[in-house]
Amino acid sequence: MPPHPETWLQPRPEGLFCLPGGFFIDATRAVDRAIITHGHADHARPGHQHVLASVETLAIMRSRMGEGRAGITQQALAIGEVLRIGDVDVSLVPAGHVLGSCQVVMEYQGSRAVVSGDYKRRADPTCAPFTPVVCDVFVTEATFGLPVFRHPDTDKEIAKLLHSMTVFPERPHLIGAYGLGKSQRVIALLRASGYDAPIYLHGALAKLCTLYGELGINLGDLRPATVADKSALRGAVVLAPPSAVADRWARRLDDPVVAVASGWMRVRQRAKASGVELPLIISDHADWDELLATVIDVQAPEIWVTHGNETALIYQLGLMGRRGRALSLIGYGDEGDDT
Amino acid sequence: MKPFADLLERLLYTQGRNAKIALLADYFATRPDPERGYALAAIAGKLDFPGAKPAVLRALVATRADPELFALSYDYVGDLAEAIALIWPKAEVESPPELPSVVDQLRRTPREAIPALIATWLDASDVSTRIALIKLITGGLRVGASLRLAKLALAQRFGVEVDAIEEIWHGLLPPYPTLFDWLERRTARPDPGTTPVFRPPMLAHPIEDTDRAGLDWSAYRAEWKWDGIRVQLVATPGGKRLYSRGADDISASFPEILAAMEFNAVLDGELLVIRDGVVAPFADLQQRLNRKIVSAKARAEYPVAVRLYDMLFDGAADLRGLPFDQRRARLEAWFAATTPARMDISPQIDFETEADLAGLRASARDDGIEGLMLKAAASPYLAGRPKGYWWKWKRDPLSLDCVLMYAQRGHGRRSSFYSDYTFGVWTEEGRLVPIGKAYSGYTDAELLVLDKWIRSHTTATYGPVREVEPGIVLEIGFDAAQRSSRHKSGIALRFPRILRLRLDKPVAEADRLETATRLIGAAAV
Ligand SMILES: [Zn+2]
Ligand SMILES: [Zn+2]
């Protein structure tokens, strides 16, 4: 009988550790061997000796951390290719979260565990879609693990933004969006809707947008907001990290409509508390329905939850006849790239 | 229902007053009758559906969601209507009901059938419509300030004075067909008849040094400015009402005043807690405000009375066009003849020169006095704040030198500035204890200095709040200090504001708690 994944995949202070492979997944401190699911700062930390990840994730890590800090040695693994590490067969499949994001599939003596990293199930023009893999244990996130989180259609949210731009044609629309993934997705969605005017960027977003371009994601005419004069920004779309939206940086804009693109915008009091005038419910994480659909798709009898609102999800898993287990890993959850 | 729900959602996220008025105006101009009338009634809190209380909604959501999951969700969201709206299963086909049909059906449906009715509506609606529906049904839409904004929006959109709406408002009934007929010039303004409606009050300007310099003092009458709340007493053959300055009907909170209104007149005065002829501090009156049911104990402990200072109607006679002196004579004669219980007349102060009044203003230390009122002898009673007729001459504030402790970002145009400040004073043990918050009083230049300093001297952050090192002294002005069990310091300041930044002053020399405590009871001079 194949060994239960409990016996060979263990939560440790540094993150999840695969014993027969000798590696961590998304280690939160510097370790010898790490497999990285995606480039967000809470999952991709600097200072590891050997890093294995998708080509795009490695490029994103180098761009954000600099060559040396993104792993002393870097090894790319192509989607679907199987690599034996120690006694474990490892492969990467798309997670649909941000460009390059992958689930880590591990097989050991006939037992299979999948670590999702962060993921979503909706279409995203900037990355490959989530692929469900049938397994014995599925390790999931639960950022939006409450049934009140049901993200609306992304198209409707983009339509809301475009409508606001016709109601306030003179005012710049300042959109707070995470630097990796969300910004590029919002830009790509705007482009797909036919918006082809220049889009202005906060300095912190420029490098990653350029990198996306190099990796084949065309985002159209992008310009720095910092050097643009006020009149050029009238009626324009400006993107900045969420923290900059309420910061001194935003004072360069004349009476902006402040928008934030995030799944958290679903809850009104939370949106209002952040001073947002136009909340855009656009998320790169699975909502409640997507979490439950994924549990069914991967057919795993046992689900481990790394971080997020796990109480409700684990309760619901019980109702669905699955065993839920909270790993309560410390160090994930804040995408960490905007502060 | 969808357009009304969209309006509510946009109002929620819109910061500026003018922008909110624009949204409301657009809604009233574009939506049909009777929908807009019911929307106005909902904003006014005039729709009541006894069969639909929050408990009904709680029971209903248990039929659509697991109770455990709902409890966790409600705990997270914090608002019942929103938690229900969000957890409710997604509509297969969205076809939300129209607002008039919601009102109509809720009124006609027997109580036991109401939950099923609400469920069919929620099943057919999107999230924001569900939130609006639940708030409408359970009476959760009443938001104090928004009714006034709605009236301003109507006035602006249809080109009438907002006071012309206020004057008839309390005689109107939802969905206000006569109001919209008049606004759209199909009929004359509805006549309130003998309904005890509210009349917009005459307000005073704060007097500045430059105003005083040019004043002909012989043309003015002086009274004390009482520290209570301004009220309008309306008693007609059609009924009796007590209104606040903002046109809220506060009759239910003050039944003993209503009982004393056995006359036919409209009077202007100050509502006060008075014990043995002495006006109690404003904090005592606060114990009586915003209460729907008043206990006998509260009535005995905080006895209220009205100090009258003007007369708008004597019976059916409208006195508002008469000069102040003539109205005052009518008031005094009427009072002598009527002798209503729980009322007296605010005395006029004898004076000849500005110096007489300045001396009185400086020496009055009573709790109940905020300063002086100056009223032109010839002034008619005009709605609003006409310049040159009535002046208020407040006492100089009390002040304390306090240390900045916490800062929070403001709203709207101030949302990128740390503009809300918590300040404290030193205890005997040399610790800082917070004694108040201020959001105003500083200049734009001072705001920039504070904002910059706060960002570079933060010692901890708690969500939107920054804790700063003790390094800035603020001179805080306030109208009075009151004992408070809700504050750790045991003291609460009335109307605190920043008088100036004391960058010259070392924090160690800021005031001590014992100094602040000694000011309790002393009103500003
Ligand atoms: Zn992520
Ligand atoms: Zn994450």
pLDDT digits (tens, 9 = 90+) for A128-145: 999 999 999 999 999 999
Whether pLDDT at A335 is above 60: no
Name the band, by pLDDT with cuts 50, 70 and 90, for residue B525: very low
Give percent of chain A above pLDDT 90: 82
The whole-number average pLDDT for the span A274-289 is: 92
pLDDT at B365: 61
What are the pLDDT digits (tens) for B442-476? 888 888 889 888 988 888 877 778 889 898 999 99
String of DSSP letters for A269-308: HHHHHTT-SEEE---SS--HHHHHHHHHHHT-SEEEEEEE
CA pair distance A48, A54, nearest whole angstrom: 16
Instruction: With a cut of 60, say whether residue B370 has pLDDT above it.
Output: yes
| Residue B185 pLDDT | 96
- Residue A154 pLDDT > 90: yes
Task: Determine the pLDDT at residue A241.
Answer: 93
* Residues in chain A within 8 Å Cβ distance of B455: 248
* Amino acid B134: pLDDT: 94
pLDDT at B367 over 70: no
What is the model's pLDDT at position B506? 83
Distance between CA B455 and CA A15 in Å, rounded? 34
Instruction: Report which of A235, A284, A239 is spatially closest to residue A260, judged by C-alpha positions.
Output: A239
pLDDT in tens, A201-236: 999 999 999 999 999 999 999 999 987 788 889 999
Backbone torsion region of residue A22, taken as left when φ is above 0, otherwise alpha when ψ lies between -120 and 50, otherwise beta:
left
Q: What is the secondary structure of B69-112 as a DSSP string? A: HHHHHHHHH--HHHHHHHHSPPPSS--PPPHHHHHHHHHHS-GG
Residue B516 reports pLDDT greater than 80: yes
Which residues, at least 6 apart from A265, have a Cβ–Cβ distance to it below 8 Å? A271, A276, A279, A280, A281
Q: Is B397 exposed, middle or buried (0-12, 13-18, 19+ CB in 10 A)?
A: buried
Chain A residue with the nearest C-alpha to that of B14: A277
CA A204 – ligand 1 centroid, Å: 17
CATH 3.40.630.10 fits A154-280, yes or no: no
Residue in A with minimal Cα distance to B12: A272
Q: What is the pTM of this model?
A: 0.80
Contact A269 B76 (CB under 8 A): no
Q: Do residue A315 and residue B78 have CB atoms under 8 angstroms apart?
A: no
The H or E element containing residue A192 is helix A182-192
CA atoms within 13 A on the CB side of A317: 25
Question: Is A5-148+285-326 in CATH node 3.50.50.60?
Answer: no
Class of the CATH domain delimited by B205-394:
alpha beta
Residue A238 token pair: 């400006």
Name A272's Cβ contacts closer than 8 Å, sequence gap at least 6.
Answer: B12, B13
Q: From the centroid of its chain, how far is CA A35? A: 16
Ligand 2 centroid from CA A26, angstroms? 10
CA distance A317 to chain B (A): 12
User: Percent of chain B scored above 70 by pLDDT?
Assistant: 97
CA atoms within 13 A on the CB side of B15: 18
CB B340 within 8 A of CB B329: no
pLDDT exceeds cutoff 80 at A329: yes
> B20 with B9: CB under 8 angstroms?
no
Q: Which residue has the tokens 């010839």?
A: B378
CA distance B109 to B118: 11
Cβ of B69 and A311 within 8 Å?
no
Looking at all shown ligands, the one closest to residue A180's CA atom is: 1
| 8 Å CB contact between B449 and B501 | yes
All residues of chain B having their beta carbon less than 8 Å from the beta carbon of residue A278 are 13
Please, which residues have CB within 8 angstroms of residue B448's CB and are 6 or more apart in sequence?
Answer: none
Q: What is the pLDDT of residue A336?
A: 42
Ligand nearest to the CA of A308: 2
* Chain B partners within 8 Å of A246 (Cβ): 409, 415-416
As a whole number, mean pLDDT of residues A2-19 equals 96
Mutate to test the interface with B, among A268, A278, A290 (most CBs of B within 10 A): A268
Which of B53-67, B106-120, B277-291, B339-353 comes out lowest in average pLDDT? B277-291
pLDDT at A339: 26
CA B303 – CA B130 distance, rounded (Å): 44
What's the pLDDT at A338?
31
Asked if the Cβ–Cβ distance from A268 to B78 is below 8 Å, we say no
For chain A, the first-to-last Cα distance in angstroms comes to 48
Alpha helix segments (H runs only) across B139-232: 144-158, 162-169, 177-183, 209-213
Nearest to B15 among A149, A267, A277 (CB): A277
Candidate from B66, B72, B77 with C-beta closest to A311: B72
* Confidence at residue B143, expressed as pLDDT on a 0 to 100 scale: 55
- State the average pLDDT for chain B: 90
Cα(A311) to ligand 2 centroid in Å equals 18
Model confidence over B178-195: pLDDT tens digits?
999 999 999 999 998 889
For residue B384, pLDDT beyond 90? no
Tens-digit pLDDT profile for residues B143-163: 545 888 999 999 999 999 999
- Would you state the pLDDT for residue B502? 85
Query: Looking at domain B398-518, which of 3.40.50.970, 3.90.1200.10, 2.160.10.10, 2.40.50.140 is its CATH number?
Result: 2.40.50.140
Closest approach of A23 to chain B, Cα-based (Å): 36
Using the beta-carbon criterion (under 8 Å), do A251 and B14 form an inter-chain contact?
A: no
What is each CA distance from B272 to A339, B307, B336, in whole angstroms?
52, 7, 21
Residue B66 C-beta-side C-alpha neighbours within 13 Å = 15
Q: What is the pLDDT of residues B22-50, one digit of tens each?
A: 889 999 999 999 999 999 999 988 888 88
Q: Residue B448's pLDDT is what?
A: 87
Indicate if the pLDDT at residue B489 is higher than 50.
yes
pLDDT tens by residue, A254-272: 889 999 999 999 988 778 7
A248 and B416 within 8 Å at the Cβ level: the answer is yes
Using the mean position of ligand 1's atoms as its centre, give its distance from the Cα of residue A329 in Å: 14
Interchain contact, A272 vs B416, CB within 8 Å? no
Q: Which residues of B are catalytic?
A: 225
Residue B133 CA, ligand 2 centroid: distance in Å: 36
Query: From the list B13, B66, B73, which residue is nearest A148 (CB)?
Result: B73
Q: What is the pLDDT of residue A337?
A: 36
What are the domain boundaries of chain B? 2-138, 205-394, 398-518
**CATH code for the structural domain at B2-138:** 1.10.3260.10
